[in-house]
A and B are shown apart, each in its own frame.
Chain A
């Protein structure tokens, strides 16, 4: 699974970048400073599953297409 580190990117540019990568790859891991709850809600409504976990101040969110 490819990892996309969006930390340091302006917040207004992140959702579009994440969605474009997901369109290309189908699954993605993102690194982000805070849990991106609005983005996760949006992705789940688009048929993705998101697993978020925090370690050492960084949130890792694994995004996959929902099975079935």
Chain B
């Protein structure tokens, strides 16, 4: 385990899993009526967990995609410490009546600036980086949104500007998290399902649509007038285009012989269905008031983003563990296969449990009896977190 933590992406992913456990525990207690932890729950999950997973994944994926090394590795190591300090301070602030929020926000903001610098410096170190993959486009846009969204929140906390929680949440989730997810799926989904992306050109069109729509939506808060509705509709259209592109990819002919669909790709395929349901629910909630923001937020963040992350980690964590621990032993002694490092029946059980319980829990604001599914959903995420930590020790 200690050996694995020397790898920078693994350090980010491991820390993220700890925030996942903490965030889910508090969210479940809140859902079951044992306290009010909404702020800290949402910041531990949509903030710390998502952000650290994204940072760790970008530090791993970006150099792989563009064929380069990270530009300033020691800066990224320092940024890891600062980001954690920021998120722990933020969680503490939310649990203690927002005391310490200004300092916590500032620490987190500085770590985001360093992250953005590292990602841009690495990308720009390769001449034609933008040609290598569509994912790079989305990753760089996402990093800009991270800086803008956190600067906006910090300015609000410091009293420099007015603050809209919805605008802040959307810049970071729709800008930073969703753009990363788009990029990650355009890269990883075809790769893991052993297919070729149906159309890069459609993906490029989607990139422009998604960004124009996202900026329109940010500017449309908090009034939610015509600009907001039109931008939401545009974002929805872009998402459908994205879903169409990946669905065509999924059903296209494989490069080689047909093999059983990788568990990571399966998680991502189902995540996509939650994404389509989530953005549709977001639009109908904004225009018709149905099914409401709880359903929209949980379908998008827990379903689309959460399940994509689960899928990505089932690929990245065993792969890096195997390369670090077993690659030197090939030919000298028997070594396990990469897929032997995780428990396959457990992965399938988690796949079924996460998908079914989430599909039910997301509608608990309409039918309160469904909130009981928070328990198996939370347990499944906790088991996943423990399983990933165990993989690092295998």
Contacts and interface: CB of A to CB of B under 8 A. Distances in A.
B330 A19 contact: yes
A15 B338 contact: yes
Range of interface residues on A (Cβ < 8 Å): 20 to 34
Contact of A23 (B68, B320, B330): B330
Contacts of A42: 323-324, 327
Nearest to B69: A37
B256 A15 contact: no
A37 to B, nearest CB: 4
Interface string A44-55: 001000001010
Contact of B65 (A9, A34, A52): A34
A67 interface: no
B337 A19 contact: no
Which of A9, A10, A54: most chain B Cβ within 10 A?
A10
Contacts, number: 71
Interface string B320-344: 1011100110110001011100000
A68 interface: no
A35 B256 contact: no
Interface string A14-51: 01100110010000000001111111001000100000
B259 A19 contact: no
Contacts of B67: 35, 37, 52, 54, 59
Contacts of A23: 330-331
A56 to B, nearest CB: 13
A16 B257 CA distance: 19
B64 A38 contact: yes
Range of interface residues on B (Cβ < 8 Å): 20 to 34
B256 A9 contact: yes
Contacts of B335: 16
A34 B257 CA distance: 19
A59 B68 CA distance: 14
B27 to A, nearest CB: 32
A12 B64 contact: no
A37 B262 contact: no
Nearest to A7: B255
Given A12-B319, A20-B330, A35 B255 contact: no
B256 A8 contact: yes
A3 to B, nearest CB: 15
B52 interface: no
Interface in B139-163: none
Contacts of A66: none
Contacts of A52: 67
B64 A37 contact: yes
B255 A16 contact: no
Given A34-B64, A34-B65, A38-B64, A8 B255 contact: yes
Contacts of B276: none
Given A33-B191, A37-B64, A12 B330 contact: no
A23 B328 CA distance: 11
Given A7-B256, A8-B254, A8-B256, A13 B337 contact: yes
Nearest to B254: A8
Interface in B68-83: 68-69
A38 B320 contact: yes
Contact of B194 (A10, A19, A36, A59): A10
Given A10-B259, A13-B338, A19 B64 contact: no
Contacts of B65: 34-35
Interface in B319-376: 319-320, 322-324, 327-328, 330-331, 335, 337-339
Which of A33, A35, A37, A42: most chain B Cβ within 10 A?
A37
Contacts of B256: 7-9
A34 B327 CA distance: 20
Interface of A: 7-13, 15-16, 19-20, 23, 33-39, 42, 46, 52, 54, 59
Interface of B: 60, 63-65, 67-69, 133, 191-192, 194, 254-257, 259, 262, 315, 318-320, 322-324, 327-328, 330-331, 335, 337-339
Counting from the closest, the 3 A-B pairs by CB-CB distance are A8-B256, A23-B331, A8-B255
7 contacts: A7-B256, A8-B256, A11-B315, A15-B327, A16-B322, A20-B331, A54-B67
